[in-house]
Amino acid sequence: MNSSARTRYLLAAGAAVVFVGLFETITLGAPFISYLNIYEHDKTFFMAGSFGSSFSFEYIMFLAYASLFTYWLIIAGGIVFWKNNRLLIIVIIVALVSHILIPAKKHELDYRNIFVIIPVLMVSAGLIADRIINKFKHHRSFSMLFVLIFIAVSFAGSMAILPYQNKIYHNKVYTAYDKSIFHKNGRLQAYRYLHDLDGIVAVFDNAGEWFYGGGYYYLHRRVPLYLKATPPPSAKYVSHLLSHNRNVIASGIRFNKSFGDFYLHIRVDSNYAYPVDSDFTCAIPQPGIDDSLNTEGGN
C-alpha cells in the first residue's frame, strides 16, 4: 500500500467514525451512545463478579473453526509474502493481541467482539487473500480452487454444518450461529402467534432469559408482558404462559400449542376475572443493567 492509498484509507476510516458519532448524536442525542450502552451492558450483565482471564486460547481457536482454518492459512500466506502485506499483518496481530488480553469469562467472548474486531479481521484477511491470488494469477486452477474453498466454507457456515460449529456456539448468549439460516426460532414464532390471538390479558414468558425473546417488538400488543426476571405477582394475573415445560401445573391454564421446544399454555376460562396489576409498566426493568447504563439522550 503506497503512501497515497494509505492516506485515503485513513481519511475514509476517520470519516466513517465521525459520521457514526454524528449520526448517533442526531438520532439518539449523544455521540457513540449505543456503543457505550453495549459496553456497559456486557460489562455489567455478563461480566459482573468475574475477574475474567488474561488470555483465551479459545478465542484463537474459534476464529479457526469458524473458517475451517482458512483464515489462519490466509494469515500464514500474508506472512510468507511479508513485503506486500506487512501493514495488514501488523494490524491483525495488534488487534488479536489487544482483544485476547481484554478480561473475559470462559466461553464469553462478546465482550471483546463489540469492538468490531471480527469485521476488521475479515476485511484485512480479504485484502491479503486478494494479493495472494494475484501472485498466482497466471495459475487459473489455483485461483479457482481458492475461490471455491471460500464459497464452500461460507455455505457450510450458513447451513451450520461446519465441524465444531455447534460445539462452539451451543448454549451461548447468541445461539443463532449454531443454526441454519433457514432455522425458525420457536420462541419468536410463539410471539407472532400470540400477536394474532384474541383474549390476551397478560403474558408470562418463562421460557428463558429476556434477551432471547422478541419482547414487545414481536408481541406488539399493549398488555402486561412478564419475563423470567420480572415474574407476575401470581399466576392469577396471567392469561397466556410460554414455557419450556409442556406439563405446567397452574389452575385453569392448559397446554395449547408447541413451537419446537417452546410450549404455549392458555387459560381456558373465558369468563375468568383477572386481578389488575396496577404496578406494571411496559418499561420492564432489568436489575443490574438499567441502573448502570448511560441513557442520557437516548434509551
- Residue 257: the pLDDT is 94
**Predicted pLDDT of residue 170:** 66
Residue type (1 letter), 298: G
pLDDT score at 295: 47
Does the pTM surpass 0.95? The reply is no
Residue 109 pLDDT: 54
pLDDT of residue 54: 44
419475563: which residue's cell? 227
* Cα→Cα distances 68→128, 137, 145, 160, Å: 17, 24, 15, 12
Q: What is the pLDDT along the chain (299 residues), one digit of tens a residue?
A: 567 767 876 787 788 888 888 988 988 888 988 878 777 766 665 555 554 444 566 667 777 776 777 778 888 888 888 887 888 888 888 877 777 766 655 545 555 555 567 777 777 887 888 787 777 777 777 777 877 887 888 788 778 787 777 776 666 655 666 778 787 888 989 999 999 998 999 999 998 877 777 788 888 888 999 988 888 999 899 999 999 998 887 788 999 999 988 999 999 998 899 999 888 887 766 655 565 555 444 44
Domain ranges of the chain: 32-178, 186-267
Burial of 178-212, coded b for 16+ CB within 10 Å and e otherwise, reads beeeeeebbbbbbbebbeeeeebebbbbbbeeeeb
Residue 32 region by backbone torsions, left for phi larger than 0, else alpha for psi between -120 and 50, else beta: left
Phi/psi at 155 (nearest 5 deg)? -65, -45
